[in-house]
Amino acid sequence: MNAIKVSLTLFLVSTGGFTQAQDAKSTLDEAFDAVEPRVIEWRRDFHEHPELSNREFRTSEKVAAHLRSLKLDDVQTGIAHTGVVGTLVGGRPGPVIALRADMDGLPVLEQTGVPFASKARGEYNGNEVPVMHACGHDTHISMLMGAAEVLANNREQLAGTVMFIFQPAEEGPPAGEEGGAMLMLKEGLFDGPNPPEAILGLHIWPGDVGTLTYRPNGFMAAADGLQINVRGVQTHGSSPWLGVDPIYVAAQIATAIQGIPSRQLDITRSPAVITIGSIHGGVRGNIIPDEVEMQGTIRTFDTGVREELHTKLRRTVNSVAEANGATATVTIEGYAPVTVNHPDLLKKMLPTLGWAAGSDKLIEGARVMGAEDFSFFQERVPGLFLHLGAYDPSIPASDRPANHSPFFIADERALIVGVRTLVGFAMDYAAVSAD
C-alpha cells in the first residue's frame, strides 16, 4: 500500500492539470452529501422492483425521467430494446468520455430478508421465475444516476462531454434475442461524429466496503456459452444393453472435459475453466431417454488458449460419445471477450481513484474468472472496469454471499464511493489525458 501512496504523490506533483481538476472537485462535497440519500432511495426502489434482461421497462423509464429532470443536452431511450443514454456537455471544452451502468436482474429467489427485498416475478425463456438484483445492478444504476446529478449541477466546472450509458441485458439476453453492450454498439452507440475517448464501469463486489479493486490489462475472463447434446437410443431402464444410454455418456463427458484445463493446457500461460451447470434428460427413472442436453460455460484469458481449449473440447466430447455408440453435438457461443483495463489510463487515473475512495482503499487484485460484456466497449475505446467493495470488513470473507447468490446484498455505505469515482473520472479525464 505504501507504493501506491508514493506513486500518487509523485503523480500529483508532476501533473498540474490534475491539480486544477482536484481543486474543482474539492467544491463538490456538499453535492455528494446532498445526493447520497437519493442514491440510497433509488437503490432500494430498483432492488424491490428488478426486471430481467431486455425487459427493464420500469427501470429505464425511471432513469430517463431523472436524466430529463437534470436538463441534459440529450436523452435517448429504446437503445438495444430498453437502454438509456444521456449526454451532458460541460462548461469548458474537452474530450468525450462515457460512464456505464447495467440495469438487469436475475432469475433468482431473494432470501436476504431486507425490508425492500424483491417479490417480483418474470418470464425467463418461457418459464415464470422469481427476479432479484442478485448481482448488484440496482446499485450500479443508482450510483450513475447520482453521478449524473452531481455533474449536471456542476457542469460549468466540467471540461468535455459525458455520456451516461444505462445498459440492458448484461446478464445475457433471452434465448433468440440480441442484447447488451454488443447490441448497443451494433446500433451505433459509438459511431457518431464524437465518440468517447474512454469509458469507466463499476461493479459492486463482496470486498470490504468502499474499497476499489483494479488490475491492469486482463482483469475478468472471456466467457463462452457451451451446449452439448448427446444422442443415444431410448430403451427400458431394466435393459440398457438394448439401447445407448445418453445419461451415462453425459456423465463420462462431464468428467472427461475437466481433464482439458488440468491436463491438456499449459496452465503457466493462462488459467481456464470449464463448468457444466445444467444437465437435462429423461422423464422417468425406468426409461433411458434418447437425448441429454448439457449446458455450461468456458472461461479463458488468452485467445490462443481459448482456441486450443475449444478444439480439445470438441475432440474429447466426440471421442467419448463415439466410444459408447452415441453421437454428440457441441455448440459454443461467445458471450464476452476478456475485460482489459488499459494500463496507461489506469496509471493516470490512480490519483482520482485515491481521491474517490482513499488511497488506503485501493487494491490491485487478482484475475477474476467472472466475465463482463463491458469488455465490448473496451474493444472500441480505452476503458477501466473496477470492483467496488460492499461488505462490512467485520464479516469474514468466507461468510460473505457472492454475486448471484440469493443472499447477496450490498452495504449502502459503498454507494457514495461509487458516485465519487464516476464523478472524479469525468472531472479529471480531460486534465490527465492532456498530460
- Tell me, what's the pLDDT at 267? 87
Q: Where are the domains of the chain?
A: 2-220+338-434, 222-336
Over residues 345-354, the pLDDT tens digits come to: 999 999 999 9
Structurally, what CATH architecture does the domain formed by 2-220+338-434 represent?
3-Layer(aba) Sandwich (3.40)
- pLDDT of 301 > 70? The answer is yes
Q: Topology of domain 222-336, per CATH?
A: Alpha-Beta Plaits (3.30.70)
The lowest-confidence range among 1-15, 122-136, 143-157, 386-400 is 1-15
Other C-beta atoms closer than 10 Å to the C-beta of 373 total 23
The mean pLDDT value for 283-302 works out to 97
What are the phi and psi torsion angles at 129 (to 5°)?
-140, 155
Exposure string over 164-181, b if 16+ CB within 10 A, otherwise e? bbbbbbbbbbeeeeebbb
pLDDT confidence tier of residue 72, bands split at 50, 70 and 90: very high
Active site residues: 104, 170
Please tell me the distance from the alpha carbon of residue 21 to that of residue 293, in angstroms, as a whole number: 56
- pLDDT of 230 > 60? The answer is yes
What is the SS3 assignment for 323?
Answer: helix
Q: What is the DSSP string of 76-143?
A: EEEETTTEEEEEEE-SEEEEEEEEEEE---BS-------TT----EEEETTEEEE-B-TTSHHHHHHH
- Tell me, what's the pLDDT at 19? 58
Q: What is the CA radius of gyration of the chain?
A: 24
- Tell me, what's the pLDDT at 242? 98
Judge whether 2-220+338-434 and 222-336 match in fold. no
pLDDT confidence tier of residue 26, bands split at 50, 70 and 90: confident
Q: Name the nearest CA neighbour of 422 among 28, 15, 69, 129.
A: 28
Q: What is the DSSP letter of 395?
A: S
Task: Write out the H or E segment, with its range, that includes residue 278.
Answer: strand 272-280
